[in-house]
Amino acid sequence: MLRVQDLHVRIEDTRILREVDLGVSDGEIVGILGPSGSGKSTLLRAIAGIIEPTAGAIYWDGEDITHVPTHKRRFGLMFQGYALFPHLTVGENVGFGLEKGADGQVEEALAWVGMTGFAERTVDDLSGGEKQRVALARTLAPRPRLVMLDEPLGALDRNLRSRLVTETRELLKDREATAIVVTHDAGEADAICDRLALLREGRIVQTGTLSELVAAPADQWVADFLG
């Protein structure tokens, strides 16, 4: 399980995150919800080890991993813009985090997202929805200890989103993944996640399920944000 304790991130002179405490239990899907600029992506990057926190600590199963480099954390992160490697094929992208010659696992991961047979395609030829699926498959393929998805459905159109919301949750639950999903859409967050954490100007202002939050908002801002 993941524990983030009193995390602070300051980039140049801007405080992006302050006093962030967050726990994710094994098999739990936690949604980070907040308006744009609230520090959601930064939080994921700090957990992934891409950004060095200014203060605070990150623990995995009780072990302090704050200073473990990204590639040794075995955390998966799906980027907002997907960050698919343009010089590699779909299959090579998905297989990137796997041992060499793990073609079977590549096919399997592609099958999870319904992209069987796409392995030889180039990334340029994919549609937005296809890119999303490939990025998801690439993140899940190495079976990371923690899955982090940054606005996984952000750039897709409405119809596709509502279908993928269910698919994504099923996919994560089938693998019994421990996951954090960042989004700015409360409905989407609720549909994918077990529990939500509300982020505002770098602080977590409230946690709970959507219905709990709606029923008892901590302040006026939470009430307004959830509509």
* 226 forms part of the interface with other proteins (CB under 8 A): no
Q: Using CB under 8 A, which residues numbered 6 to 45 contact other proteins?
A: 12, 45
Among 79, 112, 118, 225, binds other proteins (CB under 8 A): 79
Query: E strand or H helix at 41, and its extent?
Result: helix 40-48
Closest CA to 68 of 55, 59, 77: 59
Select 124 or 224, whichever has its Cβ closest to other proteins: 124
Instruction: Give CA–CA dist 181/20, Å, rounded.
Output: 16
Residues touching other proteins: how many (CB under 8 A)?
Answer: 27
For other proteins, the closer of residues 153 and 210 by Cβ is: 153
Within positions 206 to 225, which residues make up the interface with other proteins, using CB under 8 A? none
Shortest approach of other proteins to residue 70 CB, angstroms?
4
| Between 34 and 142, CB nearer to other proteins | 142
Backbone angles phi, psi at 168, to 5 degrees: -65, -45
131-150: which residues touch other proteins (CB under 8 A)? Answer: 138-139, 142
What is the CB-side half-sphere exposure of residue 193 using CA atoms within 13 A?
Answer: 32
* Under 8 Å between Cβ of 78 and 136: yes
Residue located via tokens 């203060």: 55
Euclidean distance between CA atoms 204 and 38, whole angstroms: 10
- Options 25-33, 70-78, 159-167, 191-199: segment touching other proteins (CB under 8 A): 70-78
List beta partners, residue 59: 3, 64
Interaction between residue 76 and other proteins (CB under 8 A): yes
Q: Is 204 helix (H, G, I), strand (E, B) or coil?
A: strand
Sorted by sequence, the CB contacts under 8 Å of residue 102 that are 6+ apart come out as 95
Q: Measured from the CB of residue 87, what is the shortest distance to other proteins in angstroms?
A: 5
- Of 69 and 104, nearer to other proteins (C-beta) is 69
Binding site for other proteins (CB under 8 A): 12, 45, 48-50, 52, 69-77, 79, 81, 83, 85-87, 96-97, 124, 138-139, 142
